[in-house]
C-alpha cells in the first residue's frame, strides 16, 4: 500500500509539489531565522561579555551597587591575591582584571597648548603580560585602522572616530585628565600607538584602550581593579555553568557586613541582560512554534484543496471497502513523507542562507547609531549555525504537515457513504 | 448462504429527513435474489433504485425492515463491518468509472487486492486474469486519460471483479457510453456472470441494459411495481 501511495504522490504533482514547496520554504525560513536570531543574540551577549560583563564578574559590593558609574574609589584591592584564589577555586574560568574609567582626553599642539579635547570612556586591560588573551578577546589587532598595537608602557589605542574628531593619531601624545582612586586629580600622558574601529557606534564615539598597569599607575590603583571578569572556557555564557560558580563564590567570599567584600554577578544579572539571555534560549522554541502554526494553517488549506481534488479517489476507496481510519492513516503517512522530504530540502536551503549570513553578515550600524542600551550591539550582525539548526526544522516541517493533514482529513470522517453513488456520478 | 439466497429484504423502508417532514424513498420492499442472478432495478429518477443499491451495498442502512446480504443484516453492521463486507464480497461499478487518474490500469485494478493484503505475486496474477476477462491486457501500463470511455469502464469492471466478489452492484454503468461500447460492456459482464457465477445487480433506466437483464425489478415511488423474469431480448 505504501508503494501505491508513493506512486500516487510522485505522479500527482499538485498533491505533493505544493505541500513540499510550502514545507521547504517554511523550514528554510525557520532554520534561517533561528540561525540569524541566534547569531544576533549570541553576538550581542558575547560581545557584551568580552567588553563589559564577563560571563561572571567580581567586584566589591559597594562597586556593584553603583556599577553604572564605574566608581574606582570602591574598586577591589589585593587583586593579584584574589585572582590567584579564583584560579585555584575555578580553574575552568579565565579571570582578567579590568579598570573602567572616564576622563577628558586633551590633545596638545606643537606648543603644548590644548588643540582639542573630548570626553572619553576608557578601559584598562592586560595588553603586555605574556599569555594575556585580552587583545585577541577584544579583537583589537583586527580592528586596527591606523598605527599599531601598543607594545610599550604609556601607549594607548584610540577609537578611530574619536581620534579623527580630536585631530590626532598614531605617534601623537594625548593627556588623560581624570580622577585617581582616592579622588585626587589624575593627569597622565599617553602616546597614541594606533586607532581602532570597534564596530560599535557607542564605543567608536570616544574610547581609550590602555594597558592595565598604565591605568593603575595613572589612577593610583596599585594592585587594584574595578572588576575581575570571569570568562568560561566554552566561550559562551550558560546559566547552568554560572549558577554553581556564583554559589561556590558566595559561600567562600561574600560578607554581607563588609561593603568592600567581593561579590560575584552572573552576566544575566548585569545591564538588563537577563531578557536577552532568556530570549536567546527561547528563540528556537518561539520560532519553531510560529512556523508550526503558520505552516499548519497553510498546509491545512492545501490539504483541504487536495481533499477536494481527491474527492473521487477517496470516495472510491471508501466504496470498495477501505475503512475511514485507514484512509486517514494513509493520508498521514503521505504527509510524513512530504514533511521529511520538504524538511530536508528546506534545511539545506536554510543552512545555506545562514552560512551566507554567517560569512558576510548584515550591516546595521545605521540603526544602532544612537543606541543607549547597556547591551553592545555589533554593527554587523551575523547568523550563527549551531547543531540544532540541522534538526530543528524537522519539528515544524513534519509536525505542521501532519497537523495540516489531520485537520484537513477530518472531512473523511464526516463523509456519508450513503452519498457515494451520487457523489461518484457527478 | 440460505438456499443460495444472496440478498433478501423484508419490509425494507428508507426515509430521509426533508425539512421538518420525511421523504420515503423505499417502502416495504420485499425482495430475494439468488446467487448468479443477472438482474436490475429499473425505474425513473426518484424511484428509489439507487437508495436500494446503497443499502444492499452496505453504504446505507434501512430505516425499517431489514436487508440481509450474504447472511449479514446490513442495518446491524458497524461502519467497520460494513467496510469489511464491501471489501471482501462486493464490487461496485459506477456510471463515471472513477478510476484513479495518476495510476496505471494495472494499479487501478490492483487497489482492492492491496486492501485484502494479497501477496505481490498473487496480485499480479489476479490483475492479469481480470484484465484478460475484459480484454485489456495490452493496456496495463496506460493511465485512464489515455483510454477511451469504453476502455475506462472495462477497467472499472476489472477492478470490481478482480477479487471475485459474490455480488457486483452497478449503477447506470452504460450512461456515459455509446451504443457499441454499451453492448460490449454488457456482454463482458454477462460473460463474467456466466463464467464466474457472480451475481450482478444493476440500477438503470437504460433500455440497452434492460435488454440484457434476466430479471427485471421495476420500482415506482419507492415500491416494487412488478418483477419480470425475462427471456434474453437484447
- For the segment A361-368, the average pLDDT, to the nearest whole number, is 70
Report the C-alpha gap between A348 and A259 in whole angstroms. Answer: 55
Residue B30, domain member (yes or no): no
- Inter-chain residue contact B94 with A421, CB threshold 8 Å: yes
For chain A, say whether B72 makes contact (Cβ under 8 Å).
no
Report the C-alpha gap between A85 and A270 in whole angstroms. Answer: 23
Report the C-alpha gap between B209 and A360 in whole angstroms. Answer: 75
Closest CA to A126 of A189, A215, A5, A201: A215
B5 DSSP β-pair partners: B34
Q: How many CA atoms lie within 13 A of A138 on its CB side?
A: 28
- How many percent of chain A have pLDDT more than 90? 40
- Inter-chain residue contact B115 with A320, CB threshold 8 Å: yes
For chain A, say whether B128 makes contact (Cβ under 8 Å).
no
- Inter-chain residue contact A421 with B87, CB threshold 8 Å: no
Cα maximum dimension of chain B: 55
pLDDT at A12: 83
Residue B27, domain member (yes or no): no
Residue B188, domain member (yes or no): yes
pLDDT at A426: 57
Closest CA to A38 of A381, A366, A346: A381
Is the per-residue pLDDT at A422 higher than 70? no
- For the segment A15-42, the average pLDDT, to the nearest whole number, is 86
pLDDT digits (tens, 9 = 90+) for A273-314: 888 888 877 877 787 788 778 877 887 777 777 777 777 788
Residue B105, domain member (yes or no): yes
Q: Residue B195 is part of which domain span?
A: 37-54+76-229
pLDDT at B133: 87
| Residue ranges of B 169-188 with Cβ closer than 8 A to chain A | 171-172
Residue B60, domain member (yes or no): no
* Residues of B with Cβ-Cβ distance to A316 under 8 angstroms: 92, 94, 98, 100
Residue B133, domain member (yes or no): yes
pLDDT at B231: 61
- Inter-chain residue contact B87 with A320, CB threshold 8 Å: yes
For chain A, say whether B206 makes contact (Cβ under 8 Å).
no
Q: What is the residue-averaged pLDDT of chain A?
A: 86
Q: What CATH number did the domain enclosing B196 receive?
A: 3.40.50.300
pLDDT at A365: 65
pLDDT digits (tens, 9 = 90+) for A163-184: 999 999 999 999 999 999 988 8
Question: Tens-of-pLDDT digits for all 234 residues of chain B?
Answer: 556 889 999 999 999 888 888 889 999 999 999 999 999 999 998 899 889 998 999 988 899 999 999 999 998 999 899 999 999 999 998 888 889 989 999 999 999 999 999 999 999 999 999 999 888 899 999 999 999 988 998 899 999 989 999 999 998 888 877 888 888 888 988 988 998 889 999 999 889 899 999 999 999 999 999 998 876 555
- How many percent of chain A have pLDDT more than 70? 94
- Inter-chain residue contact A421 with B82, CB threshold 8 Å: no
Structural domains counted in chain B: 1
pLDDT at B112: 93
For chain A, say whether B227 makes contact (Cβ under 8 Å).
no
Predicted TM-score (pTM) of this structure: 0.68
* Residues of A with Cβ-Cβ distance to B102 under 8 angstroms: 7-8, 11-12
- Inter-chain residue contact B98 with A426, CB threshold 8 Å: no
Phi-psi region of B39 (alpha: psi -120 to 50; beta: other; left: phi over 0): beta
Nearest CB among A4, A8, A418 relative to B54 is that of A418
pLDDT at B26: 92
Residue B234, domain member (yes or no): no
pLDDT digits (tens, 9 = 90+) for A119-159: 999 999 999 988 888 888 888 888 889 999 999 999 999 99
Residue B143, domain member (yes or no): yes
Amino acid at each position: 500500500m505504501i508503494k501505491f501511495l508513493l506512486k500516487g504522490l510522485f505522479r500527482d504533482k499538485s498533491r505533493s509539489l505544493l505541500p513540499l514547496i510550502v514545507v521547504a520554504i517554511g523550514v528554510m525560513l525557520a532554520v534561517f531565522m533561528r540561525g540569524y536570531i541566534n547569531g544576533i543574540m549570541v553576538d550581542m551577549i558575547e560581545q557584551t561579555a568580552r567588553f563589559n560583563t564577563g560571563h561572571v564578574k567580581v567586584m566589591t559590593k559597594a562597586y556593584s551597587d553603583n556599577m553604572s558609574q564605574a566608581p574606582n574609589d570602591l574598586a577591589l584591592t589585593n587583586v593579584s591575591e584574589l585572582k590567584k584564589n579564583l584560579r585555584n577555586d575555578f580553574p575552568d574560568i579565565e579571570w582578567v582584571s579590568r579598570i573602567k574609567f572616564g576622563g577628558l582626553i586633551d590633545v596638545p599642539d606643537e606648543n603644548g597648548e590644548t588643540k582639542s579635547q573630548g570626553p572619553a570612556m576608557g578601559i584598562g586591560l592586560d595588553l603586555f603580560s605574556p599569555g594575556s588573551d585580552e587583545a585577541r578577546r577584544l579583537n583589537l589587532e583586527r580592528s586596527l585602522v591606523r598605527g599599531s598595537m601598543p607594545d610599550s608602557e604609556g601607549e594607548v589605542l584610540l577609537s578611530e572616530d574619536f581620534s579623527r574628531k580630536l585631530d590626532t593619531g598614531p605617534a601623537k601624545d594625548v593627556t588623560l585628565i581624570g580622577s585617581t582612586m582616592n579622588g585626587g586629580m589624575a593627569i597622565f600622558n599617553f602616546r597614541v600607538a594606533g586607532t581602532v574601529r570597534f564596530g560599535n557606534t557607542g564605543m567608536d564615539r570616544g574610547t581609550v584602550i590602555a594597558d592595565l598597569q598604565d591605568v593603575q599607575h595613572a589612577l593610583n590603583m596599585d594592585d587594584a581593579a574595578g572588576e575581575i571578569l570571569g570568562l568560561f572556557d566554552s566561550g559562551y555564557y550558560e546559566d547552568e555553568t554560572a549558577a554553581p560558580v556564583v554559589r561556590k563564590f558566595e559561600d567562600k567570599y561574600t560578607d554581607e557586613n563588609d561593603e568592600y567584600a567581593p561579590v560575584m554577578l552572573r552576566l544575566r544579572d548585569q545591564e538588563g541582560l537577563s531578557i536577552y539571555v532568556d530570549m536567546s534560549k527561547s528563540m528556537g522554541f518561539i520560532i519553531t512554534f510560529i512556523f508550526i502554526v503558520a505552516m499548519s494553517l497553510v498546509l491545512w488549506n492545501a490539504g483541504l484543496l487536495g481533499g477536494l481534488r481527491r474527492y473521487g479517489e477517496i470516495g472510491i476507496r471508501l466504496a470498495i471497502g477501505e475503512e475511514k481510519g485507514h484512509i486517514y492513516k494513509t493520508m498521514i503517512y503521505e504527509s510524513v513523507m512530504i514533511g521529511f522530504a520538504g524538511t530536508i530540502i528546506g534545511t539545506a536551503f536554510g543552512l545555506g542562507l545562514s552560512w551566507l549570513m554567517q560569512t558576510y553578515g548584515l550591516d546595521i550600524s545605521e540603526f544602532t547609531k544612537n543606541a543607549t542600551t547597556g547591551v553592545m550591539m555589533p554593527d554587523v550582525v551575523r547568523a550563527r549555525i549551531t547543531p540544532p539548526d540541522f534538526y530543528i526544522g524537522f519539528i515544524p516541517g513534519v509536525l505542521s504537515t501532519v497537523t495540516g493533514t489531520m485537520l484537513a482529513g477530518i472531512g473523511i470522517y464526516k463523509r456519508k457513504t450513503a452519498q457515494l453513488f451520487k457523489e461518484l456520478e457527478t | 448462504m440460505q438456499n443460495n439466497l444472496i440478498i433478501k429484504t423484508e419490509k425494507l423502508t428508507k426515509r430521509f429527513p426533508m425539512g421538518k417532514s420525511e421523504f420515503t424513498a423505499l417502502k416495504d420492499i420485499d425482495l430475494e435474489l439468488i446467487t448468479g442472478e443477472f438482474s436490475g432495478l429499473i425505474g425513473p429518477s426518484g424511484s428509489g433504485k439507487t437508495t436500494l443499491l446503497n443499502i444492499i451495498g452496505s453504504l446505507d442502512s434501512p430505516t425499517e425492515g431489514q436487508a440481509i446480504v450474504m447472511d449479514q443484516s446490513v442495518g446491524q453492521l458497524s461502519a467497520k463491518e460494513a467496510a469489511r463486507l464491501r471489501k471482501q464480497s462486493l464490487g461496485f461499478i459506477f456510471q463515471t468509472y472513477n478510476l484513479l487518474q495518476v495510476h496505471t490500469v494495472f494499479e487501478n485494478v490492483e487497489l482492492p487486492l492491496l486492501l485484502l493484503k494479497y501477496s505481490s505475486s498473487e496480485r499480479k496474477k489476479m490483475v492479469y486474469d481480470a484484465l484478460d476477462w475484459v480484454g485489456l491486457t495490452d493496456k496495463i501500463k496506460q493511465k485512464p486519460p489515455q483510454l477511451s470511455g469504453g476502455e475506462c469502464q472495462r477497467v472499472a469492471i476489472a477492478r470490481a471483479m478482480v477479487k471475485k466478489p459474490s455480488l457486483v452492484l452497478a449503477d447506470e454503468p452504460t450512461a456515459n457510453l455509446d451504443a457499441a461500447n454499451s453492448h460490449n460492456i454488457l456482454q463482458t459482464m454477462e460473460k463474467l456472470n456466466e463464467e464466474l457465477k457472480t451475481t450482478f445487480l444493476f440500477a438503470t433506466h437504460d433500455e440497452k441494459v434492460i435488454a440484457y437483464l434476466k430479471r427485471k425489478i421495476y420500482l415506482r415511488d419507492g415500491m416494487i411495481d412488478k418483477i419480470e423474469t425475462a427471456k434474453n431480448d437484447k
